[in-house]
Amino acid sequence: MKTLAQVLLIVFVAAVAVFTPGSGLRADVRLPGFFSDHMVLQQQMEIKVWGWTDPDDEVTVSIGDNSAKATADASGKWQVELPAMKASKTPVSLVVKGGHNELKLNDILIGEVWLCSGQSNMEWTVANSLNSKEEIAAANHPLIRHVKIPRRPSPNPIDDLESTWEVCSPETAGKFTACGYFMARKLAAELDVPVGLINSSWGGTRVEPWTPPVGFQKVEALKEIHQSVVGRTPGSATYDAELKKYIVSSEQWLVMANLAVGTSKPISNPPLYPESLKPFTKHQEPTMLYNGMIHGMVGFPIRGAIWYQGESNHTEGMLYYEKKKALINGWRELWGQGDFPFYFVQIAPFQYGNEDPAILAKFWEAQAKVTTLPNVEMVVINDIATLRDIHPPNKQDVGLRLANLALKFDYGKDVVARSPEFETLELGGSFLKVNFKNPGGGLKTRDGAAPSHFEIIGKGSNGFQKATATIEGTSTVVLKSERVANPTAFRFAWDKLAEPNLSGGTGLPVGACRGGEVPDFLDLIPVGEYDLVYELNLAKLAGKINYDRDESDSIESFDRIGYLLELQSSEYGDQKVFVTMDAFTDDVEKIGIPTLESKSLFQQKIGGMEVFTNSDRISGGKIGEGNIEFWSHDYGGNNAANIPGANAKYDFGDQYATKEYAGYGSMQVHNFKAKQTVFAINHWKNGSDADIGIGNYDGENPDWTFSASGKKYSAKTLKVYVRKK
């Protein structure tokens, strides 16, 4: 019977034998995990095959009559390139011979390979799509193959991806990416070649985790993201410098700690490990999905990529263009195939809560700009939206439109693939002419009615007004409005819920667009009919208000009051509102900031309210009845004024404290019928941290209470006007 020491010695010797080079135990040659039976290899491109074995081992790879050899490098990695092959529906085998084992993959086809990526609308399966039962039953397409890359975030690049290719059949198709499948079905039918789909997608994901470091590096607007990524990369100069600083501070603390041993002297806590050095851990953080779900296939020949994502970035406006540029250029640089085709889907109209109605229009504009990159095209789908479902089930048309882009631009087919796009604008005095390119045989409307969702603006108009639209010829829409005498600009489908009816002759819908010169806000409002009473730079807010301009002594009587609030910030943009109303007091000293000294105390409805604004966060025009909350007191959420529709959230009828003192303070105007705060200036004694805003605040309190938003504005001015009798 062996002693414990003898057993441990045997285990140790065995371990040394396993891990010692030349011990006689060798690694089998292996391929990346997503290489499997039934895969599709890209035609007309050199076929790259790689894998791992022991260092210096010779590997032979054969496909059909073609073969190539390689020797594994010091890390055990090897790679060969086989000659390009023509598309073929006849299966071939891929054979890999290593030093002491052989791999054979069967039923390999040569055809077209497309990478399918993005968030849930790309991951959305055939089983969840329109007419799914019928689609699945008819999915007998053995030339279409699909591989789903497992969800796997990683802070570091992963070289291997584990998955298996499947042949399209009624038993398998239900799990395929629907956008990819319906695209592949069209391509296979038109081209009569096999089509392979690599589905690397994950619902709810942002664009940043799919982007490689090199993508961020070359976009100036994303410099901070790149620095954050590099700072977390062991071995980078930034990482090493920060780590050395931490080591020095930790060593200094250890010295102090050792000196404190045996004494009664307290010491500080040890230095915290810097957040900037900690690796990313969440799947939504930059590079995490590129590392875990894309990196391992980089270099595998593909025809191109399709992409459906943006819902999780939809509030970012033009910044999204910069991020897409980083993604596309980053992938292209690493793949080494030049500017391979990149076709993506513009997200659909959807009811995103209480957000700015124009939030999607600005995002759609950024998505459209992505097509200025070479070999990038976009599919518009505002005609197949489901406003209460962020996942439109009609993925058939999405896939068809993606396929038509590929058929036209990659396979030389004579098809109309682009939606009509805004090209030029002509000013005609009382009307505008909007000219479109790619009319697809001639503009039309899907329902036979006049084109919808056009708005125009000009000097003297109260913001954008609904336009009467008429199609002229094949590519022009003429716009007019009785409320805009001399229009200078237009916008189309400028609302998150817009489902316009305008399309090209082949039915492809027109996407959101705008053009022309929007007049300066002051040219749109009737400020010339009013006299200025007070002007205040809101950066000077304090417990005691000292106006920059005070003309109250020159005012005797008036019948209307107007408030002009102008705000600028990187978060909310350039916002302006001019709201006028019937006079609610005849005391001019009570219409400014309602401080304790002014003795202003108004919790009441107002009449004749009209709103002029450049903000899409509030309704403009003749509102009629509204209400104001003007006081210096503290206040609570009870609907003491019995304002219709007011509730715990839309607390436009607040109960103010009965004690007269300089409390929190409220200066708010509301369009209570629309449940909108027109503007709010609260807590002015808090100075730069006062609550200031136009429209409803996105936080807990729509009236901006407790928002401390004042610090977000680079410029903020209030002007108070009256119309003299």
For residue 95, list its beta bridge partners. 62, 104
Q: Beta-carbon neighbour count of residue 393 at 10 Å? A: 15
The C-alpha atoms of residue 220 and residue 217 are separated, in whole angstroms, by 7
Mean predicted confidence (pLDDT) in 73-97: 97
Burial class (CB in 10 A: 0-12, 13-18, 19+), 220: exposed
Q: Do 483 and 458 touch, CB atoms closer than 8 A? A: no
114-128, 151-165, 409-423, 656-670: segment of lowest average pLDDT: 656-670
Share of the chain above pLDDT 90, in %: 88
pLDDT digits (tens, 9 = 90+) for 328-374: 999 999 999 999 999 999 999 999 987 778 899 999 999 999 999 99
pLDDT-derived band at 647, boundaries 50, 70, 90: confident
For residue 424, list its beta bridge partners. 435
Burial track 408-443 (b if 16+ CB lie within 10 A, e otherwise): bbbeeeeebbbbbbbeebeeeeebbbbbbebbbeeb
pLDDT of residue 17: 41
Nearest 10 degrees: CA dihedral of 274, 276, 278, 284? 140
Residue 203 has pLDDT above 70, yes or no: yes
The C-alpha atoms of residue 52 and residue 77 are separated, in whole angstroms, by 4
CA dihedral (581, 583, 585, 589) positive or negative: positive
**Extended beta strands in 443-516, E state:** 444-445, 454-458, 465-466, 468-472, 476-480, 487-492, 502-503, 513-516
The C-alpha atoms of residue 119 and residue 391 are separated, in whole angstroms, by 11
Q: How many CA atoms lie within 13 A of 406 on its CB side?
A: 31
Of 47, 60, 26, give the one whose Cα is nearest residue 113.
Answer: 47
pLDDT of residue 1: 46
Which amino acid, residue 531?
A: D
**Extended beta strands in 5-101, E state:** 40-42, 47-52, 58-63, 66-71, 77-82, 88-97
pLDDT-derived band at 459, boundaries 50, 70, 90: very high
DSSP state of 337: S
Q: What number of residues does the chain have?
A: 725
The mean of the pLDDT values for the chain is 94
Helices 223-231 & 237-260 angle (0-180, nearest 10): 50
pLDDT of residue 573: 84
Q: Do 551 and 592 touch, CB atoms closer than 8 A? A: no
User: Using only C-alpha atoms, what is the Rg of the chain?
Assistant: 33
Q: Cα 321–327–328 angle (5° rounding)? A: 90
Helices 319-335 & 359-370 angle (0-180, nearest 10): 30
Of 370, 679, 712, give the one whose Cα is nearest residue 573.
Answer: 712
pLDDT digits (tens, 9 = 90+) for 284-312: 999 999 999 999 999 999 999 999 999 99
pTM summary value: 0.86
pLDDT of residue 658: 84
Provide the H-helix boundaries in 57-131: 120-123
Question: Who's near 348: CB < 8 A, 6+ residues apart?
Answer: 381, 382, 384, 385, 386, 390, 392
For residue 427, list its beta bridge partners. 432
pLDDT-derived band at 113, boundaries 50, 70, 90: very high
Q: Do 642 and 604 touch, CB atoms closer than 8 A? A: no
Burial class (CB in 10 A: 0-12, 13-18, 19+), 517: exposed
Of 295, 112, 139, give the one whose Cα is nearest residue 197.
Answer: 112
416-420, 540-544, 653-657: segment of lowest average pLDDT: 653-657
Residue 684 has pLDDT above 80, yes or no: yes
Residue 2 has pLDDT above 80, yes or no: no
pLDDT of residue 637: 83
pLDDT of residue 25: 57
